[in-house]
Chain A
């Protein structure tokens, strides 16, 4: 396993010496664009299956509910996929993810503290949208500060950072719970209304807001695609090639925290999902170039969520335990990654 993120430009395909159709097909398959297209087709088919099969009653009603949850899954998958890949690039490794470093827990802590300090004001009670936007703004400011401090100084070993992240997560979660115990019931209600929803029954206002935010985040990443590719070479090389390293990193951290805030608000913390999706995306796309890796990661995320939900709902009739299954698989995969890295 490559941990140094050296870019492999496999879209510079080997010389097409083979005359046969198979050879040409194979070399075409080596292009990430074609793989991405194939993936997109599969995702569309899955979404169609999810929307139109096994309708118990009226189709219109089922579509209304299901399309909301499909949109939620897409928003979450894009947010998690993009934020994880970008985070990997910033931190120069493939194991740390925003959620493992405690971003999700941090978002919940920020929400709780804000409700705790301002929650009793009537102004916020009446307008959950404003409250939510305040939360995201504070989250971005603080996390940029915190994580540039953690990753900006001297380079610490990857395992140390992992452990720091896990402990940070515990710290944030305990703190959040402490604060929640101090809230009075009315404020607690406000908090649970704004901080938690579910994939299968998303709150529509929240879904719209998070959708817009994630879209903005993606648009902000687009002009940075080439810069991101340069960042994979490491800081000295990137600075040598004219990247304003500190500023770019800050901006990217900000984008990552917006994405994390959006996905956490929709489904709560999911620890290992990003890790699976990003690592699958690198192998599937066969390249680290962000123009391919980012959309691949997002689509794979949709595939995992919609496919998983299909399997659990229609095949096993399990209902709401998708997150547990993803966490379990992700935990095993994570262990494998860490141990394989340790073995080298």
Chain B
């Protein structure tokens, strides 16, 4: 039987006004930061420049070709990674999993390497498909391994996933090293939005579609979180819903990987914080997770751009520091029943 973090499944009504405030705050911050994201960068793209220059100025061109795609990509990646973490947590019934702590990300990376090796000329969409396929295999392998471990200790599950990821990662590194692909591998696995342009970011919409799918199936995932017997008794086709969940997670992971690279801990931290705020009802928490995930990533991305202006720091580094710090806090929190 899995233990869960001591999150109230239905918060008392007294906290409701406060919750609305928090939600409103997230919404406002999201709009403000997204607008700011359009105007931050080395070239001058400011509202005044846009008004003076008109539609065919450099500023307008930059806005359409680089700033808008980047902002959209950041928002979509943040939202969909949060959702991927949430779905995975429901599937595995464990609070501490996300694509990065289950080996899914590493499997998808291996798929990417295989695609680059076997069909170098393949379109990006095809490579992403292969990465997603490998991610799906990774999800399946992880769930098999978890089922094979008799003791279902809460923290043992992500540990096993991280090790699985480490082993797959070692295989990937080894082949990349032998085939002189190490540099290009680390190039695009490093999480960053610096190279995003129109024509190179559209794959991330696939992740957006997956968010919609997750939203439609939200209630089913809630029920899945109660366990197989319970779900079957309620008349749910357990295996099919789990299958849908696995596909959603794998596709989101692959789409994020080809557009932005690896972004650690996001899918883990965001759903946990949302669960602390509003509880564990998936239908209610999906917009929260998407909003908070997007907010988190856009804040980090703006930080990555301004902290050492005019140079950029890779986003994954900043998310790594903040995300790992939050994860540690979740693990060592007083009163968390994570043992």
- Of the candidate stretches B10-18, B70-78, B220-228, B324-332, the one touching chain A is B324-332
B111 beta carbon closer than 8 Å to chain A: no
Q: CB-nearest residue of chain B relative to A332?
A: B167
Distance of A108 from chain B, by nearest CB (Å): 14
Residues in chain A near residue B117, CB distance under 8 A = none
CA distance A164 to B328 in the complex (A): 6
Interface size of A by CB at 8 A reads 32
Residue among A173, A339, A343 with the highest chain B CB neighbour number at 10 A: A339
CA distance A163 to B173 in the complex (A): 23
- Of the candidate stretches A31-39, A75-83, A112-120, A152-160, the one touching chain B is A152-160
Residues in chain A near residue B149, CB distance under 8 A = 339, 342-343
CB-contact partner of B174 in A159, A174, A178, A328, under 8 A: A328
Are B160 and A162 interface neighbours, CB within 8 A?
A: no
Residues in chain B near residue A19, CB distance under 8 A = none
Are A181 and B317 interface neighbours, CB within 8 A?
A: yes
Are A170 and B324 interface neighbours, CB within 8 A?
A: yes
Q: CB-nearest residue of chain B relative to A321?
A: B177
Distance of B213 from chain A, by nearest CB (Å): 30
Are A178 and B163 interface neighbours, CB within 8 A?
A: no
Given A167-B324, A331-B167, A334-B163, CB of A342 within 8 Å of CB of B156? yes
CA distance A339 to B331 in the complex (A): 21
Residues in chain A near residue B173, CB distance under 8 A = 324
Are A171 and B325 interface neighbours, CB within 8 A?
A: yes
Are B321 and A160 interface neighbours, CB within 8 A?
A: no
What 0/1 pattern do residues 302 to 339 of B give for CB contact below 8 A with A? Answer: 00000110010110111111001101100110000011
What 0/1 pattern do residues 140 to 159 of B give for CB contact below 8 A with A? Answer: 00000000011101011011
CB-contact partner of A164 in B160, B163, B316, B331, under 8 A: B331
B287 beta carbon closer than 8 Å to chain A: no
Distance of A288 from chain B, by nearest CB (Å): 25
Are B320 and A159 interface neighbours, CB within 8 A?
A: no
Residues in chain A near residue B166, CB distance under 8 A = 331
Distance of B138 from chain A, by nearest CB (Å): 15
B107 beta carbon closer than 8 Å to chain A: no
CB-contact partner of B314 in A167, A181, A335, A339, under 8 A: A181
CB-contact partner of A175 in B156, B177, B321, under 8 A: B321
- Give the total number of A-B pairs whose CB atoms are below 8 A apart: 103
Residues in chain B near residue A331, CB distance under 8 A = 163, 166-167, 170
Q: CB-nearest residue of chain A relative to B171?
A: A328
B296 beta carbon closer than 8 Å to chain A: no
A237 beta carbon closer than 8 Å to chain B: no
Are A338 and B320 interface neighbours, CB within 8 A?
A: no
Residues in chain B near residue A162, CB distance under 8 A = 155, 159
Given A160-B338, A163-B155, A324-B177, CB of A335 within 8 Å of CB of B167? yes
Residues in chain A near residue B158, CB distance under 8 A = 163
Are A167 and B155 interface neighbours, CB within 8 A?
A: no
CA distance A168 to B329 in the complex (A): 11
CA distance A321 to B308 in the complex (A): 35
CB-contact partner of A328 in B155, B167, B313, under 8 A: B167
CA distance A332 to B331 in the complex (A): 25
Given A159-B156, A324-B170, A332-B167, CB of A171 within 8 Å of CB of B317? no
Distance of A291 from chain B, by nearest CB (Å): 33
Residues in chain A near residue B174, CB distance under 8 A = 321, 324, 328
Residues in chain A near residue B325, CB distance under 8 A = 171
In chain A, residues 180-203, which have Cβ atoms closer than 8 Å to a Cβ of chain B? Answer: 181-182
Residues in chain B near residue A164, CB distance under 8 A = 328, 331-332
Given A167-B324, A178-B317, CB of A160 within 8 Å of CB of B155? yes
Knowing that A167-B328, A178-B318 touch, tell me 19 more A-B residue pairs with CB under 8 angstroms: A160-B331, A163-B155, A164-B332, A167-B327, A167-B331, A171-B324, A171-B328, A173-B320, A178-B313, A181-B313, A181-B314, A321-B174, A324-B177, A335-B160, A335-B164, A338-B156, A342-B149, A343-B149, A343-B150
Spell out A's residues near B (CB within 8 Å): 156-157, 159-160, 162-164, 166-168, 170-171, 173-175, 177-178, 181-182, 321, 324, 327-328, 331-332, 334-335, 338-339, 342-344
Can you list 6 A-B contacts with CB-CB less than 8 angstroms, sorted by A residue number?
A159-B153, A163-B159, A171-B324, A171-B328, A181-B313, A331-B167
